[in-house]
Amino acid sequence: MNNKVAVITGASSGLGASVTQRLSALGYHVCLLGRNEKKIKAVAESLYNEDYSIHLLDVSDNKEVENVFNIIKNTVGDVSILFNNAGMGAFDLLEDIEENDINKMIDVNLKGTIYCTQQIITSMKKNNEGTIANVISTAGLEGKVNETVYCASKFGVRGFTEGLLAELKDTKIQVFGAYMGGMRTDFWNDILTEEQTKHLMDPNDVADIIVNNIKKRDKLNVEQVIIKNH
């Protein structure tokens, strides 16, 4: 059993891949969770060591989530860091957003974060330690044109994160919210043009900021960080 276990959802690309690489370099056994096996394997091959495991998972399926987290617990041990990063977005005027996309955004962005957190909260309380880091986005801070439902899902994650902070205030469990603007990732494929994305943030820079702020420090706890584009 490993006493440093980090679970990263949406680990197959972008910010999830960058955070996975950094936590691996810090000596964590990293559990890469995602739906695209080919992409996840490519990220795993880029890691600094072979102390990792791959788990195919749709975070919106609670039964799948329960099964995968049970496997993690039974094979590598209790989770030290949960990085809730999996997300999806569909951007359009409210009247043009399809029901399927509405359901996906709520199910993946909000319910997926809740489901994964439920699976680790008991062991973190028992151990009185651990870190829960939620990727929220600046869409969880302010409403945006063509992002009504996406903002609704992210405001939900914000409320969930703030509720967790209140619920765990008398423990040593760290709860962290990352509010960032757009990054140059696959998230924007088929949404923005290459010209539009070239001005977005580098996910490696964002990962550096997040990992630096979730490190344990005496008498100091960072609850949230806001990272915006110039």
Cα-to-chain-centroid distance, residue 230: 23
Written as tens digits, the pLDDT of the chain (230 aa) is 667 999 999 999 889 999 999 999 999 999 999 999 999 999 999 998 899 999 999 999 999 999 999 999 999 999 999 999 999 999 999 999 999 999 999 999 999 999 999 999 999 999 999 999 999 999 999 999 999 999 999 999 999 999 999 999 999 999 999 998 776 566 655 665 565 666 677 889 999 999 999 988 888 889 999 998 87
How many alpha carbons fall within 13 Å on the CB side of residue 184? 11
Q: Which domains does the chain have, with CATH numbers?
A: 5-224 (3.40.50.720)
Cα distance between residue 29 and residue 166, in whole Å: 29
CA distances (Å), origin 176, targets 121, 209, 214: 14, 12, 7
Cα distance between residue 220 and residue 225, in whole Å: 14
Beta strands in the chain (DSSP E): 5-9, 29-34, 52-56, 81-84, 130-135, 173-180, 224-227
Cβ neighbours of residue 150 closer than 8 Å, sequence gap 6 or more: 89, 90, 91, 105, 109, 139, 144
Q: Report whether 157 contacts 114 (CB < 8 A).
A: no
